[in-house]
Structure 1
Amino acid sequence: MSLQQKIDRITDILRRDDGISGAMHYTEQTSWVLFLKFLDDYELGKEDDAVLSGKDYQPVLDDEHRWAYWACPKTTDGKLDLARAKTGDDLTDYVNNQLFPYLKSFANAAATGADPKSFTYKIGAIFQYLDNKVASGHTLREVLDIADTLNFQSDDEMFELSQVYESLLQNMGDAGGYAGEYYTPRPVVRAIVKAINPQPLEKIYDAAAGSCGFLVEAFEYNKPTPFKKRTGRELTSEEYDFQRVDAYWGFEKTSLAYVMGMMNMILHGIESPNLFRGNTLTQNIRDIQEKDRYNVILANPPFGGKEKAQIQQNFPIQSNATELLFLQHFMKTLKSSGKAAIVLPEGVLFQTNSAFKQVKQELLENFNLHTILSLPAGVFLPYSGVKTNVLFFERSGGTSDVWYYECEPEQKLTKNKPITDEHLKEFVELYNSRETTERSWTVSARKLAEDYDLAAKNPAKQKDTEHLAPSDILKEIRTKEKLVSGLLDEIENLLAEH
């Protein structure tokens, strides 16, 4: 049975449970089981490394709460010890009343000064927002037995699992509603990361992290193997350590998204995600200093929401539109010479009322807004049909001109026909050269500053309405008049016959 088949089997089993309702639940419950199996393999690996180096390793979990003791205890011949393996009500009682309270207690350690980069801190941060929703202990027994066959000490299996986990998160997004709020289609994420080209020692930030798709994709882009193919060299030890521990930063407001994002990063190989739960917009951006800023910002902030006046006071240009507040936050948190790519709804580009105009004026005058990618409608279906754009800007002086690229698939995007890597391939290829094509064009910042309407208006489409000479216009009018006159005569004759 392949790893994908094992995970599919787990989700099928969970769907039958009375405590599970929908993709959000079975993804959440699969996640905590996978995480605890991963943690056990991780600690076994650390113990083996310690033995080889002659050092001691103190496991994070005590013996009683480690996977090999409670989840799948083994006999001497390596088979499941049926005498010690709990099931039914005994398993449910243990998980709900002993295991989860124990894991949640790590949150107290996190609150009282544990190293934020330690696994103790991460476990506490994750499990304070999780509960076991699997109603049947027999169902959970089946799930544990399958999870036990996974090997997180295998690089190949870890890589495959990271891909499978992404598909679970996508299923949550496809389910629509709440889950779709924090899942950005991976072809869009991949195209943005390739265009931005993040470097191994750059700090990368997403203030609306969701399931951390941008951060994970940036890590995948910079990981040793892809990195070697891209540049012809391996990561240095400094770069490798920075990637695993210090490179990726984010905030997420909702507890479920925070848990999914944290696990997504860990299961992809980011050992110490710098992800924090909280509403980014409660920060007063006037207090942000250069030390608080990031080299690269990649984000798809929530749009369509409204913020209270108290939150708006944290921003020099006040608005109740969350997307406009997030854009100000990103502008303020970008380091000097830093790069940003932000997904925003079309409305931000064309609205020119006071707040929108002021923010866009600052963006054009104090940042280099060099590229706008116009995405087709339907990218975020079924969660939202709103048309969106990606703004690429740098903190490197004002804007001279903006290169637009209009992504326009031949077929309308739907839930079953989503955007693909092929749709965005040409954009990635042209990003650095900024060529003019039927889908791309350049507009001067001076022209845009006339009304601060930044919406994409493809001049190639306007060629279809060529201006005719006055004499040709008169000929067309006379031709149409003759057609209309002839039709009127026919109608008049028909009426006369009756």
Structure 2
Amino acid sequence: MFETTFRNLDDTLRKDAGCSSELDYIEQTSWVLFLKYLDDFEADREAIAKLDGKIYQRILKPEYSWTTWACPKTADGKLDYNKGLTGDDLKEFVDNKLFPYLKQFRADAEHANTLEYKIGEIFHELKNKLQSGYSLREVINKVDELRFRSNEEKHEMSSLYEDKIKNMGNAGRNGGEYYTPRPLIKTIVKVVNPKIGDKVYDGAVGSAGFLCEAYEYMRNLKELTAKEYEQLQKKTFYGKEKKSLAYIIGVMNMVLHGIEAPNIVHTNTLGENIADIQEKDRVDIVLANPPFGGSERIEVQENFPIRTSETAYLFLQHFIKILRVGGRCGIVIKNTFLSNADNASIALRKQLLEECDLQAILDLPPGAFTGTGVKTVVLFFEKGNPTKRVWYYELNLARNLGKTNSLNESDLEEFVKLSKKQESSENSWCIEVKDINKTTWDLSATNPNKKDTTDKRTPQEIIDEIQKLDLEILKAMKVIKDLL
């Protein structure tokens, strides 16, 4: 049912003049979904409080609750058309009363980590783009069919939401900004192996794919105690996101995965001077796919000792700084980082190798990120000790990757298996840091174990072979003809 509802939602949004792209579809779906989720969340809290003989104070005033303005019901549980707003009345209420009310929560909230603050932050960045109040009524009615009560329902909903994020990424030229392939994220999480008690961080959170997958991974490590579950909910996952839409999608994605009040802050991570990072700010795990190819302003670059306009290089400096000693990182970056000859690249590679143990480099094929042919690598490192040797794994696939033939977990199984002992194979090898050039600190490396499949025959030898095969075919055909 959920899948059909999601498909129908897009159909409705597509017909409205205010929505023109996949980005609009997910943005408008997100705020309506969030308010429906909030109503179900509060209903659950109210029921639990009642069982305990307590009174639950709802976050939203009654006139702004879902069951009042969006979907008031009759005694038999059907939509009360006498009370439910529609058309211009509905649009007027949403634009001029509901949104201003919800925006105010940001200023009134006691703390940025509260659900109240998240409500205010989300609606401070959003506006209702639906131009027709009748289209809005259709969207609301469809979303009202959805339920967020059981874990199964939340899981199905989160999977469908992930699909919407993927579609949004595929539709836009900056797809990788919103969507990192989930098989790759799951693989990075497995190799980094966060444990209960670790503080997990993504400073370029996007749609929160890394934090969501880390949550699923850690939640299933073992049977959790109530204290451990609460720690996962409130004191484990942290993120920062600069862009408004990505922030909203990230919060919604984490909510649908079961994290009630995500610790995601709407801010430009690179706007913070890394010299100001203190011990209390440090984290145990960094998982990220920071944007690359961007260009930061001079005043932002001044927040970093190695100045560069390349956003990914600034993020890498931030991640090294914010990790605790012994902290681990898995980060996606363009493969040109390994060999670029500019001063910033050289200085950053030197810092990485001297301050961290760069344990592994996963070399991904073109097309790993759907919609882009950019070559990327994943760096796995631990902060605190210099690197002595680096294990490389080159992902060689017998097919070209693309929208209809995307990366899957089985493609990465050998990498995960070999990474545990850093074994050599046809696709993997090691280099000693003492052997690399200390002027360039070049980390690019050619696979010495890869079989040479180049055809060494001369053109004449190939022609001779073809003629030989032709003669054999003619002889075989004559034999068959004689038999007939």
TM-score, normalized by length of structure 2? 0.91
Partner of 1:274: 263
Partner of 1:495: none
Counterpart secondary structure, 2:125: coil
1:262 corresponds, among 222, 237, 251, to 251
Is 1:108 aligned with 2:107?
Answer: yes
Partner of 1:448: 436
Shift of 1:337: 0.7
Counterpart secondary structure, 1:390: strand
Counterpart secondary structure, 2:221: helix
Partner of 1:171: 167
Shift of 1:415: 2.4
Partner of 1:411: 399
Q: What do the CA deviations read for 1:36-76 (whole angstroms, capped 9, x no partner)?
A: 00000000111111111122211100000000011110111
1:71-470 map, 5 Å: 71-110=70-109, 114-223=110-219, 226-228=220-222, 234-382=223-371, 384-450=372-438, 451-461=440-450
Using the alignment, how far apart are the partners of 1:16 and 1:421 within structure 2?
Answer: 37
- Is residue 181–residue 302 contact of structure 1 (8 Å, CA) maintained in 2? yes
Counterpart secondary structure, 1:191: helix
- Is residue 375–residue 389 contact of structure 1 (8 Å, CA) maintained in 2? yes
Partner of 1:494: none
Using the alignment, how far apart are the partners of 1:6 and 1:427 within structure 2?
Answer: 38
- Letter aligned with residue 66 of structure 2: W
Using the alignment, how far apart are the partners of 1:118 and 1:330 within structure 2?
Answer: 25
Using the alignment, how far apart are the partners of 2:382 and 2:266 within structure 1?
Answer: 27
Using the alignment, how far apart are the partners of 2:176 and 2:287 within structure 1?
Answer: 18
- Is residue 18–residue 135 contact of structure 1 (8 Å, CA) maintained in 2? yes
Using the alignment, how far apart are the partners of 1:449 and 1:334 within structure 2?
Answer: 27
- Is residue 24–residue 179 contact of structure 1 (8 Å, CA) maintained in 2? no
Partner of 1:44: 43
Using the alignment, how far apart are the partners of 1:125 and 1:200 within structure 2?
Answer: 29
Change (3 A) 1:283 1:317: same
Shift of 1:461: 3.2
Shift of 1:308: 2.1
Shift of 1:449: 4.4
Using the alignment, how far apart are the partners of 1:462 and 1:332 within structure 2?
Answer: 40
TM-score, normalized by length of structure 1? 0.89
Counterpart secondary structure, 1:128: helix
Shift of 1:463: 5.6
Is 1:4 aligned with 2:6?
Answer: no
Using the alignment, how far apart are the partners of 2:315 and 2:191 within structure 1?
Answer: 22
- Letter aligned with residue 43 of structure 1: E
- Is residue 406–residue 456 contact of structure 1 (8 Å, CA) maintained in 2? no
Shift of 1:424: 1.1
- Letter aligned with residue 59 of structure 2: V
Partner of 1:490: none
- Is residue 361–residue 449 contact of structure 1 (8 Å, CA) maintained in 2? no
Segments of structure 2 that go 5 or more residues without pairing to the other structure are 465-484
Q: What do the CA deviations read for 1:274-299 (whole angstroms, capped 9, x no partner)?
A: 11112111111112122111100000
Using the alignment, how far apart are the partners of 1:269 and 1:260 within structure 2?
Answer: 14
- Letter aligned with residue 219 of structure 1: Y
Q: What do the CA deviations read for 1:343-383 (whole angstroms, capped 9, x no partner)?
A: 0001111113322111111111121001000011112231x
Counterpart secondary structure, 1:177: coil
Shift of 1:307: 1.7
Shift of 1:212: 0.6
Q: What do the CA deviations read for 1:252-292 (whole angstroms, capped 9, x no partner)?
A: 11111111111111111111211111211111111212211
- Letter aligned with residue 123 of structure 2: F
Counterpart secondary structure, 2:326: strand
Using the alignment, how far apart are the partners of 1:116 and 1:54 within structure 2?
Answer: 30
Q: What do the CA deviations read for 1:394-435 (whole angstroms, capped 9, x no partner)?
A: 013111111111112111112222211121111112221111
The worse-fitting range, judged by mean Cα deviation, of 255-264 and 347-356 is: 347-356
Counterpart secondary structure, 1:394: strand
- Is residue 338–residue 394 contact of structure 1 (8 Å, CA) maintained in 2? yes
Structure 1 consecutive aligned stretches of length 4 or more whose deviation exceeds 3 Å = 461-465
Counterpart secondary structure, 1:443: strand
Using the alignment, how far apart are the partners of 1:148 and 1:264 within structure 2?
Answer: 18
Q: How many residue pairs are counted as aligned between the two chains?
A: 460
Using the alignment, how far apart are the partners of 2:449 and 2:169 within structure 1?
Answer: 35
Counterpart secondary structure, 1:92: helix
Using the alignment, how far apart are the partners of 1:323 and 1:158 within structure 2?
Answer: 33
- Letter aligned with residue 172 of structure 1: M
Segments of structure 1 that go 5 or more residues without pairing to the other structure are 229-233, 469-475, 484-498
Using the alignment, how far apart are the partners of 1:312 and 1:385 within structure 2?
Answer: 28
Change (3 A) 1:305 1:204: same
Using the alignment, how far apart are the partners of 1:60 and 1:177 within structure 2?
Answer: 39
What is the RMSD computed on CA atoms of the aligned residues?
A: 2.0
Using the alignment, how far apart are the partners of 2:97 and 2:41 within structure 1?
Answer: 22
Using the alignment, how far apart are the partners of 1:82 and 1:308 within structure 2?
Answer: 53
- Letter aligned with residue 46 of structure 1: R
Partner of 1:61: 60
Using the alignment, how far apart are the partners of 2:346 and 2:13 within structure 1?
Answer: 50
Q: What do the CA deviations read for 1:204-236 (whole angstroms, capped 9, x no partner)?
A: 11111101100011011112xx223xxxxx112
